[in-house]
């Protein structure tokens, strides 16, 4: 590791915040980009986040994939809930893309590589694969480490590593779920999904099952997006 990475790795908080924060910053750059640029930035932010997680894998000891039945069931249930709530739950009216200078966008195709590059273009399928892998492998690690491992426990006690992952404190849990929901356009979906991920962690006292659940949900949503097609979720 370089000197700067070693400094980050020495802090239990920063080692869990940095990959997530870098991903968010690059996401804002992506949102402000037009045309093909936003697809290349998505690739860049996915690779950078994956590299940071790899660099800090020893310091983030809870970031280990696990495959209990709870995670698998919750992953499928989360997908069904996310799609099924569309006509029942309100959306945050401003999506991330609409924050760009207050402009309006087509909510049905704000991130559609097949529109950008052509229905049969190799680049379109390449960027679909990038987003599929990014949302299914990188994002679950980033978000579960940040929200379920760090944020929730840190709200309870800033010396969060002394707390078990399955500690139950209703108010801090609701706050962590609300923060998670605030970063998604489907705020009701996201809040309920965060509660589901907390349940998965509580069941086994490990983060890996929630990572697996998150990966399954995002993978199923990616397949729904491209094969239905229904691009609102991207």
- The closest of 205, 225, 219 to 70, measured between CA atoms, is 205
Look at residue 90 in the predicted model and tell me its pLDDT.
Answer: 57
Instruction: Name the burial class of residue 171, with classes exposed (0-12), middle (13-18) and buried (19+) by CB atoms within 10 angstroms of its CB.
Output: exposed
Q: Where are the domains positioned within the chain?
A: 62-233
Look at residue 111 in the predicted model and tell me its pLDDT.
Answer: 83
Q: How far is CA 75 from CA 30, 162, 196, 197, in A?
A: 27, 28, 9, 9
Given a contact cutoff of 8 angstroms between Cβ atoms, the answer to whether 186 and 92 are in contact is yes
Given a contact cutoff of 8 angstroms between Cβ atoms, the answer to whether 226 and 131 are in contact is no
Torsion of CA 178, 87, 24, 170, to 10 degrees: 20
Distance (Å, rounded) from C-alpha 80 to C-alpha 221?
9
Look at residue 65 in the predicted model and tell me its pLDDT.
Answer: 97
Q: Give the pLDDT confidence of 101-123 residue by residue, as tens digits.
A: 333 333 444 789 999 999 889 99
- Residues with Cβ within 8 Å of 208's Cβ and at least 6 positions away in sequence, in order, are 62, 63, 64, 65, 66, 67, 71
Look at residue 101 in the predicted model and tell me its pLDDT.
Answer: 32
- Residues with Cβ within 8 Å of 73's Cβ and at least 6 positions away in sequence, in order, are none
Alpha helices in the chain (DSSP H): 3-9, 14-31, 37-55, 69-84, 113-117, 122-133, 139-143, 152-156, 170-182, 187-204, 208-227
Look at residue 218 in the predicted model and tell me its pLDDT.
Answer: 96
Residue 159: phi and psi, rounded to 5, are: -90, 65
**pTM (predicted TM-score):** 0.89
Q: Give the pLDDT confidence of 163-176 residue by residue, as tens digits.
A: 999 999 999 999 99
Q: How far is CA 154 from CA 47, 123, 148, 161, 218, in A?
A: 27, 42, 10, 9, 26
Q: Give me the tens of pLDDT residue by residue for the chain, a chain 234 residues long.
A: 678 888 999 999 999 999 999 999 999 999 888 889 999 999 999 999 999 999 999 999 999 999 999 999 999 999 999 998 877 765 544 444 433 333 333 344 478 999 999 988 999 999 999 999 999 999 999 999 999 999 999 999 999 999 999 999 999 999 999 999 998 888 899 999 999 999 999 999 999 999 999 999 999 999 999 888 888 777
């Amino acid at each position: 590791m370089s000197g700067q990475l070693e400094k980050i790795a020495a802090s239990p908080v920063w080692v869990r915040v940095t990959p997530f924060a870098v991903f968010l910053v690059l996401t804002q750059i992506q949102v402000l980009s037009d045309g093909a640029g936003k697809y290349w930035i998505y690739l860049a932010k996915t690779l950078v986040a994956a590299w940071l997680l790899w660099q800090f894998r020893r310091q983030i000891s809870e970031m280990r994939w696990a495959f209990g039945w709870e995670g698998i069931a919750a992953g499928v249930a989360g997908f069904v809930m996310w799609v099924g709530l569309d006509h029942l739950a309100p959306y945050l009216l401003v999506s991330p893309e609409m924050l760009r200078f207050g402009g309006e966008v087509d909510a049905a195709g704000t991130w559609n590589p097949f529109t950008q590059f052509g229905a049969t273009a190799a680049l379109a399928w390449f960027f679909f694969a990038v987003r599929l892998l990014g949302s299914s492998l990188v994002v679950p690690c980033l978000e579960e480490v940040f929200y379920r491992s760090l944020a929730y426990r840190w709200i309870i006690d800033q010396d969060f590593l002394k707390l078990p992952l399955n500690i139950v404190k209703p108010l801090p849990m609701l706050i962590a779920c609300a923060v998670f929901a605030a970063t998604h356009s489907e705020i009701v979906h996201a809040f309920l999904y965060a509660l589901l991920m907390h349940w998965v962690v509580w069941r086994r006292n490990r983060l890996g099952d929630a990572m697996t659940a998150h990966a399954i949900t995002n993978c199923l949503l990616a397949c729904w997006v491209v094969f239905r097609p229904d691009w609102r979720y991207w």
